[in-house]
Amino acid sequence: MNDKTELAALKARIEELERKANPPELPKSEGPRGPTTTEIAESRMAAMRVKIEPVDNATVAGIGRDARAIQNLAPLTEGRVRPPLPGGMREPSALEAPGGQRTQDLIGKLLDVDDARQRADFIAREAHRLAKK
């Protein structure tokens, strides 16, 4: 390479890097501009201030006092709405299968019947397959 081609290559590289470092400005949009997020937030705060201003301190204090007051609600049914929880120690009881032994026996019988049905279906399919040969 001679000096002129190297110089031309370096100039082209410099121009390329300058273009990347300084991209062209985005075109300015013409027409009305919408509100910024700050302006939207300020308008919302102003709207809240308008709602809050009519409420005086006595009203706010009354709301807080009512919230802390004991509520005397009428029960839904006669007597207590919720039965009292047992207190103290309880006698340990024997562990059982969920649903009791009768339920477990019934489930076992249902599984045995289903197993027998599946075996019968398999035997019938196998017999049909062997009959085709």
d(CA 106, CA 112): 10
Domain total in the chain = 1
Residue 110, in any domain of the structure: yes
Residues 6+ away with beta carbon under 8 Å from 43:
35
Residue 104 and residue 97 in contact, taking contact as beta carbons nearer than 8 Å? yes
Considering the entire predicted model, what is its pTM? Answer: 0.27
Residue 61, in any domain of the structure: no
Encoded amino acid at 104, one letter = Q
In the predicted structure, residue 75 carries a pLDDT above the cut 70:
no
Give the residue numbers spanning the domain of 107. Answer: 101-133
Tokens 């470092």 label which residue?
21
Q: Which residue, 121, 118, 123, is CA-closest to 131?
A: 123
In the predicted structure, residue 116 carries a pLDDT above the cut 90:
yes
Assign residue 103 a region: left if phi > 0, alpha if psi is -120 to 50, beta otherwise?
alpha
Residue 8, in any domain of the structure: no
First to last CA, the chain: 85
Give the tens place of pLDDT for each residue, 29-53: 777 778 888 888 888 888 887 777 7
Residue 117, in any domain of the structure: yes
